[in-house]
Amino acid sequence: MARPGCLQTSTTKPVQVNGKEEYTVKKILDGRLFRCQLQYKVHWKRYGAAGDSWKPAASLDHASTLVKKFHRNNPEAPCKLAAMNFEFLAASF
């Protein structure tokens, strides 16, 4: 099964991880907050730039090393926020 919008050849087959098909991340290109969700622009192994796509951070657990490398090289990029104490903020108003 091909990724949507991508051509698949015999060398672009997904791997099986815990019974699910997954593709291999080659590089994290960018990060953004979209609708209050952290997403990363992913370049997939064996796909050209046309196959790059935005994926939720939560779906990239298997690429944590590449995400960390991206943040080392791009410290200004959005990243996961620690839990915030909203009671403290509410009390200050």
> What pLDDT was estimated at residue 13?
63
Give SS3 for 28: strand
What does the block give as tokens for 30? Answer: 């960018």
Among the listed residues 44, 43, 48, 39, the one whose alpha carbon sits nearest the alpha carbon of residue 80: 39
Task: Give pTM, 2 decimals.
Answer: 0.69
pLDDT in tens, 51-61: 999 999 999 98
pLDDT in tens, 33-90: 999 899 999 999 989 999 999 999 999 988 999 999 999 999 999 987 655 555 655 5
Q: Which domains does the chain have, with CATH numbers?
A: 15-91 (2.40.50.40)
